[in-house]
């Protein structure tokens, strides 16, 4: 626990209460000397009483863009992702820098590092030493009954996505800016080394699907940039990877595997948001 950092975090003027709450939790877990900790998303979700992991990811992204933390992705020797390493910018926090919603701040002495851009292997000398024993991930032992594959989809068929149902209450986003190619690239990077197929063709139909999902992201989070799409993809993958039956990876009776079109569905987004996959 870093009581030294906690008092200074309380004094920071951050964009919103969720962002401050996440930074407070990180500061509470951080090593006093290094400012490092590695709580799992499930741990942050439980301790901060935040239902959606996507909300936590967005808060972490804000903190990194403001220069308060550096997020480093870690993997085990098997290649499976483990909890991120969070390095708090102690110098910046201790100066009690005031941050407003419209501020744009970079990390001290360097450019802002993209969220999750570094990977630290856990296979030897380059591994990050554990600084605290209280960051064990919270594992839900209950196993839900496997959902049925979407209607009309077989184990070996190339699944055609049903169109997202337009909600009449959604605001009209005539000037919504969507980077289709980068979103496709983020998806492909996310599902690499999983049974989920990467996207090779960015058809007009898929662009319409992406645009429809972008409107839902905009309504829910106030933004639909590439990072928000990546957070959604990561959240989906983490949830389905936690299932013992590996249903979304072909572990069901039919062998059906989730794909890009399935992730573009409004129903899939809602289930991911509610952590109910």
> Domain for residue 152, yes or no?
no
Print the domain residue range for 85: 3-121
CATH of the domain at 97: 1.10.10.10
pLDDT of residue 63: 93
* Angle (CA) 91 92 93, round 5°: 95
20 in the same domain as 106: yes
106 in the same domain as 33: yes
88 in the same domain as 9: yes
Q: Pick from 39, 38, 6: which is nearest to 23 by CA?
A: 6
195 in the same domain as 93: no
Q: What is the pLDDT along the chain (277 residues), one digit of tens a residue?
A: 556 678 888 888 898 999 999 999 999 888 888 889 988 888 898 889 988 888 888 899 999 999 999 998 887 777 777 788 999 998 888 886 544 444 444 433 434 444 344 444 444 444 444 444 333 444 444 445 555 556 555 444 444 444 444 444 444 445 788 999 999 999 998 898 899 999 999 999 999 999 999 999 999 888 899 989 999 999 999 899 988 899 999 999 999 999 999 999 999 999 998 888 8
> Domain for residue 116, yes or no?
yes
* Single residue among 98, 121, 144 that ends a domain in this structure: 121
The phi and psi torsions of 180 (rounded to 5 degrees) equal -60, -45
101 in the same domain as 26: yes
* Single residue among 121, 140, 172 that ends a domain in this structure: 121
> Domain for residue 93, yes or no?
yes
Q: Into how many domains does the chain fold?
A: 2
pLDDT of residue 2: 53
Q: Is the dihedral of CA 201, 202, 208, 209 positive or negative?
A: positive
186 in the same domain as 117: no
> Domain for residue 115, yes or no?
yes
> Domain for residue 166, yes or no?
no
* Single residue among 78, 97, 121 that ends a domain in this structure: 121
Q: Which residues pair with 257 in a beta bridge?
A: 249
HEC assignment per residue over 168-191: CCCCCCCCCCCCHHHHHHHHHHHH
> Domain for residue 30, yes or no?
yes
108 in the same domain as 16: yes
188 in the same domain as 83: no
> Domain for residue 109, yes or no?
yes
189 in the same domain as 91: no
> Domain for residue 170, yes or no?
no
186 in the same domain as 114: no
Cα-Cα end-to-end distance for the chain: 34
The phi and psi torsions of 84 (rounded to 5 degrees) equal -70, 155
188 in the same domain as 110: no
103 in the same domain as 204: no
């Amino acid at each position: 626990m870093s009581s030294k950092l906690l008092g200074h975090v309380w004094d920071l003027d951050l964009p919103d209460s969720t962002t401050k709450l996440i930074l407070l939790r990180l500061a509470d877990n951080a090593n006093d000397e290094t400012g490092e900790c590695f709580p799992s998303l499930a741990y942050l979700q439980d301790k901060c009483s935040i239902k959606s992991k996507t909300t936590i990811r967005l808060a972490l992204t804000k903190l990194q863009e403001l220069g308060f933390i550096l997020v480093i992705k870690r993997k085990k020797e098997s290649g499976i992702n483990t909890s991120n390493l969070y390095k708090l910018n102690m110098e910046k926090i201790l100066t009690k820098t005031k941050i407003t919603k419209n501020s744009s701040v970079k990390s001290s002495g360097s450019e802002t590092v993209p969220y999750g851009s570094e990977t630290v292997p856990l296979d030897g000398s380059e591994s990050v030493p554990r600084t605290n024993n209280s960051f064990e991930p919270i594992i839900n032992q209950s196993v839900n009954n496997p959902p049925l594959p979407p209607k009309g989809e077989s184990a070996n068929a190339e699944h055609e996505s049903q169109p997202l149902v337009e909600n009449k209450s959604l605001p009209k986003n005539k000037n919504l800016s969507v980077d289709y190619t980068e979103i496709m690239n983020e998806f492909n990077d996310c599902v690499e080394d999983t049974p989920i197929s990467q996207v090779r063709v960015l058809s007009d139909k898929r662009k319409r699907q992406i645009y429809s999902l972008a409107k839902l992201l905009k309504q829910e989070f106030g933004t639909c940039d590439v990072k928000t799409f990546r957070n959604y993809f990561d959240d989906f993958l983490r949830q389905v990877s936690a299932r013992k039956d590996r249903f979304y990876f072909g572990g069901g009776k039919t062998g059906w595997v989730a794909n890009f079109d399935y992730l573009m569905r409004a129903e899939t987004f809602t289930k991911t948001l509610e952590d109910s996959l």
